[in-house]
Amino acid sequence: MQNSTADFQLNFSNKTSICASISRPNAKPQAVGSNFMRHFAFAILILTLLSCSTKDNNKMGLFDKLFGKKETPKQTENNSVDFDTTQLVKTAEMLDEDLYWNIIDKSLKNTSNQDDQEQFLIREIGNLTPRQMVGFRLRTDKLLYDTYNSDMWCAGYIMNGGCSDDGFEYFRNWVISRGRNTYYQAKQNPDNLINAIDENLEMYDFESFWYVALEAFKQKTGKDLYDYIDNENFKTKEGQYPQFEFTWQEENPESMKKICPKLFDKLWDKH
């Protein structure tokens, strides 16, 4: 029995050419045989198409087009990423302290000014899970809480030539942003900040450091980080600071000098 060849060619998206050749008997088959061979040829064509098709502009193979493909989160124009917000829950858990300081120390090694450090921190925090991002902010709040005292306020007043309530918050954020060693040395004795003096700084404050986790969280989830703080169980934060009495008076510079003599001698006359 002689055979003839049926050639099939499919052009896909003007980019992929798929060819298949199906041999069938040349003799006249019965109607049911003819239908069978047409179905068989079509099946071979589909199998060939699936095996050799290239990807389209979106880098999805035909199999993905036909049967669907789980897409990765999409990057938006403002660098935010689509996120399943149903996974978000409130938390009072602080970020692991070692991880927290590692992120800050890394930012100090890779930047030379506050603007660059801020952007670096936002990117690094963006690599954390949303729960960890909230934890980063909570860890910051705890460190601020632990340095809310008269002596630290005295250091901020001397270094900046004055220190309001908000200014004291931003001053302590700057202290934290200088890394673990600077923070804990200052916590032990604020006069140790003499080692962190930078002649290029006009003010020793870093307000935007307080918000880096908020910005990273917003970019990743599109949500407000504040909405995912378990305020019922997290208490070491602004608004619940411990009460204290000032051990110095701004109208009495000598009282400040007793607390931070090195800072006073270095900076007071410059204001």
Task: Tokens 């006359």: give the residue.
Answer: 269
Q: What is the pTM of this model?
A: 0.71
**In 3-state terms, what secondary structure has residue 210?**
helix
- For 47, the token pair is 């199998």
Nearest to 175 by CA among 161, 198, 15, 164: 198
Q: What pLDDT, in 10s, does the model give residues 119-176?
A: 999 999 999 999 999 999 999 999 999 999 999 999 999 999 999 999 999 999 999 9
Task: Tokens 């149903």: give the residue.
Answer: 86
* Rounded distance between C-alpha atoms, residue 140 and residue 213, angstroms: 10
Beta pairing partners, 5: 23
* Rounded distance between C-alpha atoms, residue 11 and residue 91, angstroms: 55
Q: What is the mean pLDDT of residues 171-191?
A: 98
